[in-house]
């Protein structure tokens, strides 16, 4: 059984696809925290093709200034919202070497954090942006938590979402031979 020509190089990891918050007045960033490409060989009716399951976990990071209700303008807080998302797409290499990928699917993970901290006596001296110290520390905590369980999340997503879909189409799944 021939597997055809070697698969084309996969495209670079797609930019995270997540809806933007409806009202963000401060700074925002989206960053990929960890990614994994898993190569597979799919076989059906004596024909084979290469597939690539592409997973990534990315972080949506928003920081903005807040004035608590009923407080004067000198009581400024800097608020942050961090949300982690698991994103998957599946890429296929045809026998001609052409490569195509499914649209990315993103799911919000329970890993995240929301908080606020006083900006200080003089808000002009302490900017409320992505580098605001308490928000940056929260971001680092969320990134560490995401990295700690990313491989388990990738494996779980593969087992619950990708593999059943492939098997339902009647293919046999194998790891490529090195």
**Model confidence at 9: pLDDT above 70:** no
> What domain range is 100 assigned to?
27-174
Burial 121-145 (b: 16+ CB within 10 A, else e): eebeebebebebebbeebbeebbeb
Per-residue tokens: 72: 């004067």
- Residue 23's pLDDT band, with cuts at 50, 70 and 90, is very low
Is 1 part of a structural domain of the chain?
Answer: no
If you average pLDDT over residues 9-37, what whole number do you get? 70
**Model confidence at 123: pLDDT above 90:** no
**What does the pLDDT read at residue 66?**
76
> Which position has the higher pLDDT, 167 or 123?
167
Distance CA 110, CA 149 (A): 12
Structural element, H or E, at residue 156: helix 133-157
- Residue 38's pLDDT band, with cuts at 50, 70 and 90, is very high
**pLDDT tens track for 99-109:** 789 999 999 99
**pLDDT tens track for 79-104:** 999 999 999 999 998 767 777 899 99
Q: Which residues 6+ apart lie within 8 Å of 165 measured at CB?
A: none
Is 42 part of a structural domain of the chain?
Answer: yes
**Model confidence at 162: pLDDT above 80:** yes
Q: What is the pTM of this model?
A: 0.78
Is 11 part of a structural domain of the chain?
Answer: no
What is the tally of structural domains in the chain?
A: 1
Is 2 part of a structural domain of the chain?
Answer: no
**What does the pLDDT read at residue 2?**
43
Distance CA 95, CA 165 (A): 21
**What does the pLDDT read at residue 114?**
95
**What does the pLDDT read at residue 3?**
45
**Model confidence at 136: pLDDT above 90:** yes
Is 5 part of a structural domain of the chain?
Answer: no
Is 13 part of a structural domain of the chain?
Answer: no
Is 163 part of a structural domain of the chain?
Answer: yes
Is 39 part of a structural domain of the chain?
Answer: yes
In sequence order, the β-bridge partners of residue 97 are none
């Amino acid at each position: 059984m021939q597997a055809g020509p070697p698969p084309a190089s996969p495209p670079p990891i797609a930019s995270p696809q997540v809806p933007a918050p409806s009202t963000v007045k401060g700074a925002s960033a989206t960053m990929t925290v960890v990614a994994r490409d898993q190569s597979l060989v799919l076989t059906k009716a004596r024909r084979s093709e290469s597939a690539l399951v592409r997973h990534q976990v990315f972080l949506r990071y928003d920081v903005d200034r807040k004035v608590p209700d009923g407080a004067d303008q000198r009581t400024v807080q800097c608020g942050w919202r961090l949300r982690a998302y698991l994103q998957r797409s599946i890429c296929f290499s045809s026998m001609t070497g052409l490569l195509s990928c499914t649209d990315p699917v993103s799911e919000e993970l329970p890993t995240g954090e929301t908080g606020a901290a006083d900006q200080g006596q003089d808000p002009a001296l302490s900017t409320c942006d992505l580098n605001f110290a308490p928000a940056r520390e929260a971001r680092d905590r969320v990134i560490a938590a995401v990295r700690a369980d990313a491989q388990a999340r990738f494996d779980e997503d593969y087992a619950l979402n990708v593999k059943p879909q492939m098997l339902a189409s009647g293919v046999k799944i194998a790891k490529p031979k090195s």
